[in-house]
């Protein structure tokens, strides 16, 4: 039990560090739109989703289309098991609205390889040594391959 708590605490610290960018400045109006697009609601504790309070951990143009994108992270072992973290990717549309394009449990690492429309492949990290890499096909992110440290691997 102590080992599990220590492991989860370490993972949460690493996740926060991995997600953290230098001081994010997100305009209040956009913050509200981003969280609402991902299904979060404002409460006295912050923006809450179905798995806990979320925070915007990335706010930048991920696919080089000139529009901002955001990653919301939330933490819960009840929802996300041993990984303890989930994420929601929200993209600003040309008309200024925000749209949820992907959500998953795990720790997203944006890779240099790209799918359609310039969206980066996402290595979905967490416990283990072989991770799914998701690729955007123009409509949704789907598993494209499995990797560990940039090398192909198999779940078998």
pTM of the model: 0.83
pLDDT of residue 82: 87
Does 21 score more than 50 pLDDT? no
Per-residue pLDDT tens digits for 62-75: 999 999 999 999 99
Percentage of the chain lying above the pLDDT 70 cut? 86
Does 16 score more than 70 pLDDT? no
> Can you give the residue ranges of every domain in the chain?
2-152
DSSP-derived secondary structure for the chain: -HHHHHHHHHHHHHHHHHH--SS----HHHHHHHHHHTT-EEETTEEEETTEEEEEEEEE-SSSSSS-EEEEEEE-HHHHGGG-EEEEEEEE-TTS-EEEEEEEESEEEEEEEE-GGGPEEEEEE-SSS-EEEEEE-SS-EEEEEEEETTEE----
């Amino acid at each position: 039990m102590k080992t599990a708590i220590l492991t989860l605490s370490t993972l949460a610290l690493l996740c926060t560090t991995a997600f953290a960018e230098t001081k994010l400045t997100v305009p209040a109006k956009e913050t509200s739109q981003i969280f609402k697009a991902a299904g979060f609601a404002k409460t006295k504790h912050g923006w809450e989703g179905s798995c806990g309070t979320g925070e915007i951990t990335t706010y930048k143009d991920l696919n080089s289309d000139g529009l901002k994108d955001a990653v919301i992270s939330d933490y819960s072992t009840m929802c996300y098991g041993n990984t303890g973290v989930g994420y929601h990717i929200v993209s600003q549309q040309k008309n200024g609205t925000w749209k949820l394009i992907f959500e998953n449990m795990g720790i997203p690492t944006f890779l240099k390889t790209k799918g359609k429309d310039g969206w980066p492949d996402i290595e979905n990290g967490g416990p283990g040594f072989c991770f799914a890499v998701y690729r955007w096909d123009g409509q949704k992110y789907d598993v494209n391959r499995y990797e560990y440290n940039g090398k192909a691997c198999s779940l078998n």
